[in-house]
Amino acid sequence: LHRIHRVYRHIYYRKAVALLALGRHHHAALAAYQGLELDPSNSELQQLLRTCVSDGRKAFREAKERVKK
């Protein structure tokens, strides 16, 4: 069972990285969170989730500024 969790955790990590590269910050954060549900102490997934949220906030602010112009 532990091996299966490791495999799924890695799949969620890869999914989050791919979604982040596509600019789909919300979905990337959800994938990272799903991986963390399997392994809450995984520092790579924790950092990836922080990056998704941070990049998503930045993208939101930039979009908001473009609308104002």
Residues in the chain where the model's pLDDT stays below 70: 1-2, 4
What pLDDT is attached to residue 6?
Answer: 73
- For position 55, what pLDDT does the model report? 97
pLDDT value, residue 50: 98
Q: Residue 45: which of 27, 69, 28 has the closest Cα?
A: 28
pLDDT attached to residue 68: 84
- Which residues fall within 8 angstroms of residue 56, CB to CB, at 6 or more apart? 25, 26, 28, 29
Query: Measuring CA to CA, which residue among 18, 20, 12, 9 is closest to residue 58?
Result: 20
Reading the block at residue 53, the tokens are: 């949220």
